A = this chain, B = another copy of it.
Amino acid sequence: MSAQEPGQRPATVIDVAEAAGVSVATVSRTLRQPEKVSPKTREKVMRAVTELDYVASPAANALVSGRTHIIAVIVPLFVHWFFATIVESIERAVRAAGYHVLLFDLWEDGAPRLRITRDMLRKRVDGVVVVNLVPDDEERQVLQRLGLPVVMVGDELPGSPTVGIDDRRAMRLVMDHLVSLGHSDVGHAYWVPEQSGMSQVPAIRLEEFQTAAREHGLTTRPEWMLPRCYGRPVDAVAEATRLFSSGVPLPSAIVGASDETAYGIITAARRFGIDVPGDLSVTGIDDHAYAELFDLTTVRQDVSAQGAQAAARLLEQLTGSPANADDDLQEVRLVVRGSTATRRDA
């Protein structure tokens, strides 16, 4: 039975030392390097530890060692499948190594995102993972001066490794797939944030869409580009609705920049009686949790694996492995489901 009662002052090394009849040095040693203490002493100390419900103070520890055993995970917006998954897998991975996760969500409604500052990181964390964000010059300096190990997810930062996928290749996979089905008139549903400091990923996917379309000699009319698909399916519904009700001839396929955008296109099509994939093929990128529900042809990326990878890269640096700024690009692969089909009039 423990002697610790609610609200009581937490036990310190001194309390344990007294209870065990040894010095504080011995208590500390017992907890850190048990093999350097005689079995008898060890047992006495451990008994006192249990008895007093003793837990070493992380603050005191941090003070003396200079390491907090906390890492910062900085995301633009937590409430999004991708980010939540990344954070979850990072948390799990670092916990196993005795680290904790301090979360920073930089989103601000209707305003530029919060900035990464010295004050939020300095002396508080041992390392940081930046997810889908592009630090601006000032933030770069902050990160640089902090001298902390940094791992990027999705975007690039000179000097730090990036974990992610090859977004160009992901886009290529769906484009090639559509071409192989005979499609030559394609639209694109996407969003490229105008705000600075946001991820470059959307821009890269858009660029690759255009490059691939050009190389394959596809037709892409301006009316088929739906640029305001902010991420939520409803935004894509709105964009697609405009197109479907505009009277313009429709493309035979629409490439969604993400699965969630594709869901919106499919839903809008359904409302207009446009058959998917009969009249219109739709694709996504992600293989999000609902992709199967929407029977969506997409490109699978393993988000948990990316989180685990990011954690591993950070822990590597934290435990003093030789710095290695090489990027890790995860494999992606096309997952063909029922939202794409041979072009009807092909």
List residues of A whose CB falls within 8 A of some B CB.
Answer: 2, 4-8, 10, 53, 55-60, 62-63, 68, 70, 77-81, 83-85, 87-88, 91-92, 100-105, 107, 118-119, 122-124, 144-145, 147, 232-234, 237, 263-264, 267, 289-290, 292-293
- A304, closest chain B residue (CB): B79
Contact B88 A145 (CB under 8 A): no
Q: What residues of B have a CB within 8 angstroms of the CB of A102 in the complex? A: 70, 100-103
CB distance from A304 to the nearest CB of B (A): 9
Contact A59 B123 (CB under 8 A): yes
Q: What residues of B have a CB within 8 angstroms of the CB of A55 in the complex? A: 118-119, 122-123
CB distance from A300 to the nearest CB of B (A): 15
Contact B87 A78 (CB under 8 A): yes
* Given known A-B contacts A10-B122, A78-B87, A84-B79, A59 and B53 have beta carbons under 8 A apart: no
Contact A145 B232 (CB under 8 A): no
Contact A81 B78 (CB under 8 A): no
| Cross-chain contact of A58 among B6, B83, B103, B123 (Cβ < 8 A) | B123
Q: What residues of B have a CB within 8 angstroms of the CB of A144 in the complex? A: 6
> In the complex the two chains form, what is the Cα distance from A179 to B1 in whole Å?
55
Q: What residues of B have a CB within 8 angstroms of the CB of A103 in the complex? A: 87, 91, 100-103
> In the complex the two chains form, what is the Cα distance from A62 to B146 in whole Å?
21
Of the A-B pairs whose beta carbons lie under 8 Å apart in the complex, a sample of 5, sorted by A's number, is A56-B123, A78-B84, A79-B85, A100-B124, A264-B293
From A8, A68, A91, A105, residue with most partner B Cβ within 10 Å: A105
Contact A237 B145 (CB under 8 A): no
- A144, closest chain B residue (CB): B6
Q: What residues of B have a CB within 8 angstroms of the CB of A289 in the complex? A: 232-233
CB distance from A330 to the nearest CB of B (A): 18
* Given known A-B contacts A105-B91, A124-B58, A234-B292, A53 and B118 have beta carbons under 8 A apart: yes
> In the complex the two chains form, what is the Cα distance from A84 to B79 in whole Å?
5
Q: What residues of B have a CB within 8 angstroms of the CB of A123 in the complex? A: 10, 55-59
Contact B70 A59 (CB under 8 A): no
CB distance from A121 to the nearest CB of B (A): 9
Contact A290 B85 (CB under 8 A): no
CB distance from A83 to the nearest CB of B (A): 8
Q: What residues of B have a CB within 8 angstroms of the CB of A104 in the complex? A: 91
CB distance from A259 to the nearest CB of B (A): 12
